[in-house]
Amino acid sequence: MRPAFHLNLDLAAEHSGKPALKEPTDVSIEYKGAPLTMDDIAAEQKEWLDEESLIVTCDEQIKDAGVYKVKAEIKANVADNGLKFMGTPDLDAGESDTVRYFNFTVTKKKIGITAALDSGGLPTVTLKNAGDVYSGDTGDRAPKFGFTYTGNGYNSDTPPTAVGTYTATAKITNECNYEIDTSNSTISVTYKVDKKSVAKPVLSGQVSKQYSGVAQSFTLQGVTADVTLTLPSGVTYADGSLNVKDAGTYKIGIALKDGGAATIWADGTSASYEVSITIT
């Protein structure tokens, strides 16, 4: 437990003849990146506070966003003269005629962001003002951003892979002292998953050879896992080569394996086509 802090406030008042002090009321302030005291609280929130008569303490340093229990106690020298708080103390909470507790709330700092697509078409976040994140907040104390992807029946923090148009909505993914100021931010961006471009396989070198009595090879370049071949009888394919022995003209069908659902030929088409080889 950290040492209690004692606040020096400048709202002095005389209590001669006053029967009681106003009870403390809760106060709040936005995260400032540094320890906070009642000196940081706006005057209108602490009109009840009397420096001459009260000591205000907390058993922990007030800094990060959260709610802190703070003790307001009438100083012994004025308590001995009969000064006490108005109202009824909460004895179960440890209060008395000369002790009250109130909440000191530190709210998360609001930061403006802009969601956009980077040069690779992926969603990214930039701060509208880099100075909104305090210089001491590095590593896990700095806000980390991610996206939720929605659309086409999809809703996940993992980028979709199915072809379609989605909305990527930015969010802070770690527990920190910041939150997105939605009124001063562009938090969503359109994210598209396009069809994968596939180069068309092509024949290379000779496409017609004379019969030799043994199987002969023809080079077919560009056959990948996204491509399917339809081979006529007498033709085999392995490691980039079409192999055939007997005389004839052979037509090889070439198609996108998924029929164009998530892939497309590099020339912008998706239809299947044929190439021919000949043994004369």
Identify the CA nearest to 232 among candidates 167, 187, 276, 173: 276
Q: Is the pLDDT of residue 14 over 90?
A: no
Q: In which band, very low, low, confident or very high, does the pLDDT at 137 lie, cut at 50, 70 and 90?
A: very high
Q: In which band, very low, low, confident or very high, does the pLDDT at 80 lie, cut at 50, 70 and 90?
A: confident
Identify the CA nearest to 112 among candidates 133, 135, 97: 133
Q: Is the pTM of this model over 0.85?
A: no
In degrees, rounded to 5, the angle at the alpha carbon of residue 58 between the alpha carbons of residues 52 and 59 is 140
126, two tokens: 């930039």
Which of the pair, 12 or 197, is modelled with greater confidence?
197
In degrees, rounded to 5, the angle at the alpha carbon of residue 127 between the alpha carbons of residues 122 and 132 is 155
CA-CA distance, 114 to 177, in Å (whole number)? 19
- SS3 label, residue 256: strand
- SS3 label, residue 130: helix
Tens digits of residue pLDDT in 84-132: 999 999 999 999 999 999 999 999 999 999 999 999 999 999 999 999 9
Q: What is the number of alpha carbons within 13 Å of residue 133 lying toward its C-beta?
A: 19
CA-CA distance, 32 to 63, in Å (whole number)? 8
Element (H, E) at 110: strand 109-111
The alpha carbon of 64 is separated from its chain's Cα centroid by a whole number of angstroms, namely 20
CA-CA distance, 88 to 185, in Å (whole number)? 46
Identify the CA nearest to 30 among candidates 74, 63, 2, 59: 63
Any idea which of 60-69, 79-88, 108-117, 251-260 has the lowest mean pLDDT?
Answer: 79-88
CB–CB of 180/111 below 8 Å? yes
